[in-house]
């Protein structure tokens, strides 16, 4: 327990955090200088909130394969994978060749190209729910387009979402309301509660256009949806004429047909993003031809869907090259098997050390949590002293492993067996040295 005489402070934790922070600051003067300079033109020194962490973030200058190099010249094994967008690692030869070829052919055509049909055909062939698809420039935009489409085709205005859901920077439902959320009428339901979801759909069907769900909640801690939960959503939506939308921006990498293909649960619409553009900014939304025909401009009553960079040649060419030549079904299976093995090894460490620590997730997507209790929803995540996160994060950086402050990890194809072994050893050493603090640190 914390010393009562310190007013709830934990002196051992404070000393450990102060020590690792001091080492971090001393080792990274160029990153600190970059941060201070960037703050003069960017609020907080960044243009992507998730990139910030105290005392200042590393400034990465170059990358190759699974290795990042910062402006101070330090190298790290990349276990962030750009939050699952960096599936192919950095500068994969097949992706690089496709991009160089695109550069030689020109960049901004302002016209349709053969390349958009090529990537569209690949994606339609993979996902059971997608007969027709439209591209966007991000997963956020893809989700917004799916929502406005559902509202337009059903004539209803409300959307059911779930506690902890993240569908982009303006469609997020964490522990606190997001002040910049889009102003749709949202009905927020508990995640992984089949009976409550069915009840809410039944009672609100007259106003529900769609149910939007992640088959695995990424931003809230890599929490998988159970098959029973997703199956209950499918059953209730079908019974009451509500569109079911799977946000597979992250989970599309888990199997050739995404999570829907794994489970055999087919939604009415699907949104994609992250890796499908080969590492370039991308997004997509799709569904059956009967729904997506509203975007056929040859029809006089069609909806307008513009977007200057929806069919940018880099995303289309790199994305197709990756799907055709690199991310084959055997490669996909091997990557996700490696993720399952890594997660199992991390959980074995927690059991061996008998400390509050666990790894959740599916396949190549996972999150480290500082608790013993199982996690089925954001409600199950216990509040912990945020300094514990800082201690683990900076300790792993000190050992040469780049992860996120919140503990989110994604594997890229460039990650090899020795990289995973190194991370396991680093976590083992951390739990050996600091595991006692996980039991004694007070909650936030």
- 88 assigned to active site: no
Strands 269-272 and 283-287: antiparallel
The DSSP letter of residue 306 is -
183: Cα within 13 Å, side-chain hemisphere: 0
- 380 assigned to active site: no
Specify whether the CB–CB gap between 288 and 278 falls below 8 A.
no
The one catalytic residue among 274, 385, 408, 419: 274
The one catalytic residue among 166, 172, 191, 408: 166
- 166 assigned to active site: yes
Give the other-Cβ count within 10 Å of 111's Cβ. Answer: 6
> What DSSP assignment string belongs to 17-57?
HHHHHHHHHHH-HHHHHHHHHHTTTSGGG-SSGGG--SS--
Distance set, CA 25 to CA 14, 18, 33, 169 (Å): 16, 10, 11, 30
Distance set, CA 354 to CA 351, 376, 402 (Å): 5, 21, 25
Sign of CA dihedral 367, 370, 374, 377: negative
Give exposure, 129-155, as e/b (b: 16+ Cβ within 10 Å): bbebbbbbbbbbbbbbbbbbbbbebbe
- Kindly provide the residue ranges of all beta strands, DSSP E only, lying in 91-145, ordered along the sequence: 132-136
The one catalytic residue among 247, 268, 385, 395: 247
The DSSP letter of residue 443 is P
- Upstream peptide bond of 355 is cis (omega within 30 degrees of 0): no
Walk across the sheet containing 158-162 and list its strands. Answer: 132-136, 283-287, 269-272, 243-247, 208-213, 158-162, 186-189
Angle in degrees, 0-180, between the axes of helices 194-204 and 227-240, rounded to the nearest 10 = 10
Strands 208-213 and 243-247: parallel
Q: Which residues are catalytic?
A: 166, 247, 274
């Amino acid at each position: 327990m914390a010393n009562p005489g310190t007013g709830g402070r934990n002196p051992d934790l404070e000393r450990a955090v102060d020590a690792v922070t001091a080492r971090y600051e001393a080792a990274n003067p160029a990153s600190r200088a970059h941060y201070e300079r960037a703050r003069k033109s960017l609020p907080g020194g960044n243009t992507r909130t998730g990139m910030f962490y105290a005392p200042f973030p590393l400034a990465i200058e170059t990358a190759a394969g699974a290795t990042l190099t910062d402006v101070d010249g330090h190298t790290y094994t990349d276990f962030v994978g750009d939050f699952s967008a960096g599936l192919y690692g950095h500068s994969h030869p097949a992706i690089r060749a496709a991009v160089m070829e695109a550069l030689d052919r020109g960049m901004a055509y302002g016209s349709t190209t053969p390349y958009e049909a090529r990537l569209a055909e690949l994606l339609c062939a993979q996902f059971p729910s997608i007969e027709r698809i439209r591209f966007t420039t991000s997963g956020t935009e893809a989700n917004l387009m799916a929502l406005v489409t559902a509202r337009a085709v059903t004539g209803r205005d409300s959307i059911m979402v779930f506690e902890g859901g993240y569908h982009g920077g303006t469609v997020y439902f964490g522990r606190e309301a997001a002040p910049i959320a889009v102003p749709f009428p949202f009905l927020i339901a508990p995640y992984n509660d089949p009976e409550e979801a069915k009840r809410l759909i039944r009672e609100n069907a007259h106003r529900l256009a769609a149910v939007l769900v992640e088959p695995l909640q990424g931003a809230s801690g890599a929490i998988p949806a159970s098959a029973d939960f997703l199956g209950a959503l499918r059953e209730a939506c079908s019974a009451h004429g509500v569109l079911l939308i799977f946000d597979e921006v992250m989970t599309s990498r888990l199997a050739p047909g995404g999570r829907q293909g794994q489970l055999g649960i087919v939604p009415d619409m699907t949104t994609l993003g992250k890796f499908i553009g080969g590492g370039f900014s991308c997004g997509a939304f799709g569904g059956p031809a009967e729904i997506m025909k509203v975007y056929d401009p040859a029809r006089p009553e069609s909806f307008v869907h513009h977007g200057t960079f929806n069919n940018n040649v880099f995303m289309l060419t790199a994305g197709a090259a990756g799907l055709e030549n690199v991310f084959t079904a055997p490669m996909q299976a091997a990557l996700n098997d490696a993720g399952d093995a890594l997660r199992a090894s991390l959980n074995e460490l927690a059991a061996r050390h008998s400390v509050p620590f666990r790894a959740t997730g599916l396949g190549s997507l996972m999150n480290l949590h500082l608790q013993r209790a199982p996690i089925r929803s954001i409600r199950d995540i216990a509040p912990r002293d945020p300094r514990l996160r800082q201690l683990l994060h900076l300790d792993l950086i000190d050992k040469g492993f780049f992860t996120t402050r919140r503990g989110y990890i994604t594997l890229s194809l460039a990650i090899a067996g020795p990289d995973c072994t190194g991370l396991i050893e680093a976590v083992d050493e951390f739990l050996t040295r600091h595991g006692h603090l996980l039991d004694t640190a007070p909650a936030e």
